[in-house]
């Protein structure tokens, strides 16, 4: 079956702009988690959605937001982009939630902020 699909794969934005990233989970998976990956900080948890509800949230400013649709597809949005937001944004899906540790990751969306 198809894996986790993230779009777009690469994008370049300038400071102050906003960006929306999309994630389509594996069919049947209801949980979607988002992570930010940078060389300096490694993988940092952003938030997790299950059945259209945000269940967990990491320690990121309010500029980072997300949502999940009834078909389990998820989007995350970053407003008022800063240079430090340049990162690989990874989406991971799972059947019931990240607590099992069995996360299936997409290839990521690489965001560059100029």
Instruction: State the nearest-atom distance from the C-beta of 14 to other proteins, in Å.
Output: 24
Residue closer to other proteins by CB (options 45, 60) is 45
Instruction: State the nearest-atom distance from the C-beta of 77 to other proteins, in Å.
Output: 20
Q: Which residues bind other proteins (CB under 8 A)?
A: 4, 33, 35, 42-43, 45, 48, 56, 58, 90, 92, 97-99, 101-108
Instruction: State the nearest-atom distance from the C-beta of 16 to other proteins, in Å.
Output: 28
Cα 70 to Cα 81: distance, rounded to the nearest angstrom: 28
Residue closer to other proteins by CB (options 13, 104) is 104
DSSP 77-100: EE-S--GGG-EEEEEEEESS-GGG
Sorted by sequence, the CB contacts under 8 Å of residue 43 that are 6+ apart come out as 35, 36, 37, 90
- Number of helices (H) and strands (E), helices first, in the chain? 0, 11
Residue closer to other proteins by CB (options 40, 70) is 40
Residue closer to other proteins by CB (options 11, 79) is 11
Instruction: State the nearest-atom distance from the C-beta of 36 to other proteins, in Å.
Output: 11
Q: Which of 94, 66, 64, 101 is nearest to 4 (CA)?
A: 94
């Amino acid at each position: 079956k198809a894996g986790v699909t993230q779009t777009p794969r690469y994008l370049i934005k300038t400071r102050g702009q906003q960006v929306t990233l999309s994630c389509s989970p594996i069919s049947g998976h209801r949980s979607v988690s988002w992570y930010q990956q940078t060389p300096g900080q490694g993988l940092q948890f952003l938030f997790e959605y299950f059945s259209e509800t945000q269940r967990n949230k990491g320690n990121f400013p309010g500029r980072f937001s997300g949502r999940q649709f009834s078909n389990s597809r998820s989007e995350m949005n970053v407003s008022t982009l800063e240079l430090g937001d340049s990162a690989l944004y990874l989406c991971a899906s799972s059947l019931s939630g990240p607590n099992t540790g069995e996360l299936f990751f997409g290839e990521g969306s690489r965001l560059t902020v100029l």
